[in-house]
Amino acid sequence: MLPKHNRYRPKLRTGARRARTFRGPYMAHHGCMAIRGANEHRDEDVELGGRFSRLFGDLPALYTDPAVLRDLGDNKVKENPSDSTRRSTTYPLGMVFFGQFIDHDITLDVTSGLDRTNDPLAIENFRTPALDLDSVYGTDPEAFPFLYEKSGSHKLILGYHGIDLPRSPDGVALIGDPRNDENRIISQLHLAFIKFANAVLAETGGDLAEAQRLTRWHYQWIILHEFLPLTCGEDLVRDILSNGRKIYRPTGTRAFIPVEFAVAAYRYGHSQLPDFLSFNDDSRRVQFFGKELGQGFTPVEKKDQAVDWRHFFHAGKNPVAQLAQKIDAGMAGELLALPFIDDAANKSLATRNLLRGQSFRLPSGQAIAEVMGETPLTSAEVGTGTQVDAATPLWFYILREAELKGERNGNTGERLGPVGGRIVAETLIGLMEYDDSAFLGSNRNWLPELPLAEKTREPSTFAMGDLLAFARTV
């Protein structure tokens, strides 16, 4: 039987709720450090996205001895090798950062903490729970004038010679979500979306409302038809679209962000990041937090510092797209000892994820699997040799499930397993279905309208490479 949701019903609002300016620190790197300048340019009339909520509110919260969680995060989440032995065979590395971009479009929690119990209904989401690119556009030009040219053309501002984000004199990125400057790859992806938005605006003759619709719908199309099939599996996405959602079923008409998604399932991407990558033809085996890419929030000042998207997506002529790490219970060494964290006890991102999941009182992965009608992983399959094998924190469970059951082309670890995949896919599809301005919520017969990189292809094949080509970034 599926869980009841009435006890965790999102609060409905009869009108737009307006935010007071938030004075506390915004957090970057998924809650790891404060973002410089995040409180600048915040308008009194910015609409908030509402609270978080739960998918499985009737299930008991899992409690694990914090010492066991620390041992698991610090010692038993293995360091993935830097060679190709654990690389995916199907998942382009760029999709990892696209997933991060999506996350920043729909969630921003600035008030929860690792050292206390967090109530999802008391946590404000400072992003709209909709795939509406408010991180790019803001709410509108009047509320976010610093994003737009003063000419009234509704064009979004570009930074230094069009190779960087727009910045204040002291280097703070002038964008709708400062987290999109937390590393070089995500900042360049945000820049690509600015260029895409401006290219679509030109295509419409300067009609901002129509340009925003087209930009958002093509972005949503890529999420539904490229990102989700890669991440969750083609069959699962098809099943949800054909037979409906089973677990993401808000009471009323307002969407919400589930904590099972935000705090656990959607953190699968942490296992996909390699220690070394190339970001253009001049870079070879660059460390993600090394001197070439920096630790984020730094300007791009030379062309050889800019990202060549052919190294991340199947895009442009002669693409050389790198592949992500497999989704498994391992992480890049740099993420297990975050260089920008001063607290020695919490430098491992794995440990932070485990402690955060417990702070939100998440159920075990096994309990959720049973409710979903899936066969739970056995203690031997979880395989840590500790008490978490029988009752596993959801984040770690989802990684092990993908490692064992996330199969594509005969290889595991290529996508999420049945529990993680359904939480992610149903949440993102649900956000589009509950949004009457999204194409799934307003016109399910819609097909992409912008030209493809290869004109002989069908409109339904529009993908990330086409978006980057239309933006003239490849």
Instruction: Give pLDDT tens digits for 390-445.
Output: 999 999 999 999 999 999 999 999 999 999 999 999 999 999 999 999 999 999 99
Residue 352 to residue 358: CA distance in whole angstroms:
10
Determine contact, residues 332/81, Cβ cutoff 8 Å: no
Judged by DSSP in three states, 408 sits in strand
Residue 250 to residue 329: CA distance in whole angstroms:
31
Residue 58 to residue 52: CA distance in whole angstroms:
16
Judged by DSSP in three states, 241 sits in helix
Tokens in use for 128? 């709209």
Residue 420 to residue 210: CA distance in whole angstroms:
35
For residue 13, the one-letter residue type is R
Residue 329 to residue 268: CA distance in whole angstroms:
9
- Tokens 């000419």 correspond to 151
Per-residue pLDDT of the chain (474 residues; tens, 9 = 90+): 444 333 333 333 333 333 333 333 333 454 454 433 333 333 333 334 567 999 999 999 999 999 999 999 999 998 887 666 789 999 999 999 999 999 999 998 877 887 788 888 778 788 889 999 999 999 889 999 999 999 889 999 999 999 999 999 999 999 999 999 999 999 999 999 999 999 999 999 999 999 999 999 999 999 999 999 999 999 999 999 999 999 999 987 789 999 999 999 999 999 999 989 999 999 988 999 888 998 889 999 999 999 999 999 999 998 999 999 999 999 999 899 988 787 777 889 999 999 999 999 999 999 999 999 999 999 999 999 999 999 999 999 999 999 999 999 999 999 999 999 999 999 999 999 999 999 999 999 999 999 999 989 999 999 999 999 999 999
Task: Give the up-direction half-sphere exposure of residue 79: CA atoms within 13 A in the CB hemisphere.
Answer: 13
Residue 263 to residue 30: CA distance in whole angstroms:
10
Please report the domains of the chain, with CATH numbers, ordered by start residue.
6-470 (1.10.640.10)
